[in-house]
Amino acid sequence: MTALTLLIPGGTGQLGRELNRQAQQAGADVRAPGRAELDVTSAGQVVSAVRELAEHARRRGGRPVVINAAAYTAVDAAESAERKAFAVNADGPRLLAAACASAQVPLIHVSTDYVFSGESDRPYEPDDPLGPRSAYGRTKAAGEVAALPGRGGASAVPTAWVFGLGRSHFVHTNAP
């Protein structure tokens, strides 16, 4: 079995840290930079990071994969900072998708259920129409569209209520 060599932008965030931990436990070679190490809104940094990942993986006989966990996740704050949220949630995935396509590296883009309208009476399917109702949802929907043109070598994984150890999250802030 070929070992995975992963790049997890957003690797110091809540989701990124857990993906990193799980991947390492499974034997993957992981690089999980935070925003200070890899700014997903910088084309140069993104291209360089994906290129380095591909070269490193191929040198060691591994399979390179990018899992994009970088995101502007302050849902309420996005209403007044939509441009900032758009840069991370839409421009970042677009840059990652282009760099991954160029280097022939699969991309898994972590998204959110906020890209949908919330009016369905059944679980959402990958091809359901997008219908975001908030600035945050619009930026994440734009990121999906940018990252998945034709879904070539990319996949999106929508999430809801991400929570875990050590960080502020919905359960922590709303529990009695």
174: left (phi over 0), alpha (psi -120 to 50) or beta: alpha
Distance CA 97, CA 107 (A): 7
Tell me if residue 114 is catalytic.
no
Distance CA 172, CA 41 (A): 30
Helix (H), strand (E) at residue 159? strand 154-159
Evaluate whether 158 touches 124 at the Cβ level (below 8 Å): yes
Question: What would the two tokens of residue 100 be?
Answer: 């991954």
- 28 DSSP 8-state letter: -
Choice among 72, 114, 124, 136 that is catalytic:
136
Contacts of residue 122, Cβ cutoff 8 Å, sequence gap at least 6: none
Evaluate whether 6 touches 18 at the Cβ level (below 8 Å): no
Question: What would the two tokens of residue 128 be?
Answer: 């359901």
Q: Which residues are catalytic?
A: 136
